[in-house]
Amino acid sequence: MNLQQYLTTAWEQFGAILVSYSGKLFLALVIIVLAYIIIKIIDLVIRKVFDKTPFDRSLELFVEKLIVTVLWIVTFVVVLGVLGVNVSAIVASLGIMGFVVGFALKDTLGNLASGVMLLFYKPFKLGDYVQSGGFEGTVKGISVSACTLRTGDNKNIVIPNAVLWGKPLVNFTANKTRRIELILSVSYKDNLDKAMKVVSLVLKKEKRVLLDPPALIAVQTLNASSVDLIIRPWVKTKDFKAVTFSLTKALKEACDKNKIDIPFPQSVVYMKK
């Protein structure tokens, strides 16, 4: 058989195969076109639904891409089945591959899952001051894999979402008001009523201290060298640090002015002759 005869025979065989598969190819093409249209419609419906929900846009994009990807994988498997391919083996292979990939990327997938939970439940938002996993700072970035905090000394910390979601998280700016807690130690020789009145006057002079709820001024502890007064005024969250610093300075000055002693730790030693 010369080359021309070989090519002719090969072409005839290819034509026969093409004719035998023409129906299946046409059906597969129809499935792909229909799948494309249906997936586009589903994607559009999902976007319309998300437009009416308060979810974070990063979470919405993640869910959209995940659904579209799954739908195309299903379409791919269906098309192979129409073409006569043994899809059961492919499905089994995909399952094994998914297990291997999931095991290899368990940390990454854990961060993604935690990111979805953070974006869904929203325990904090951009601009909030939070503390978790030994880190604290202002939230500057939120994604499905990690969050970025900016510390008080202007350093950026990128924290995997699994760390934030897997440990207790404190949001210092979630509410509009916060309570300051200060301890003022006075000596045993000082009059406690006088000391508490001086504290009350200091709080009244600080205009950023809220009247409702009222501040608490009480005797907390009888220490070895001092009596501790606990002072708990309420302020707006944005004023928390500024008022804390201001009250600390004002209390020291008021004690000096009113001859109220702020003792330091001391011990009394008795000597026998």
What is the residue range of 149's domain? 115-171
72/156 same-domain check = no
Q: What is the pLDDT of residue 246?
A: 96
Give the E-state strand segments of 93-215 in sequence order.
Answer: 129-132, 135-142, 146-150, 156-160, 169-171, 177-179, 182-186
List, as one string, the DSSP characters of 82-127.
HTT--HHHHHHHHHHHHHHHHHHTHHHHHHHHHHHHHHHH-S--TT
Judged by DSSP in three states, 194 sits in helix
* 43-48: Cβ within 8 A, 24+ apart: 43/67, 43/68
Average predicted confidence (pLDDT) for the chain: 81
Number of structural domains found in the chain: 3
Place of tokens 């009480």: 218
Phi/psi at 190 (5° precision): -80, 150
> Quick check: is 273 in a domain?
no
Find residue 164's DSSP bridge partners: none
Query: Which one is predicted more confidently, 70 or 110?
Result: 70
11/94 same-domain check = yes
What pLDDT, in 10s, does the model give residues 119-153?
777 888 889 999 987 889 999 988 777 889 999 89
The answer on pLDDT for 98 being more than 70 is no
Q: What is the pLDDT of residue 7?
A: 58
193/154 same-domain check = no
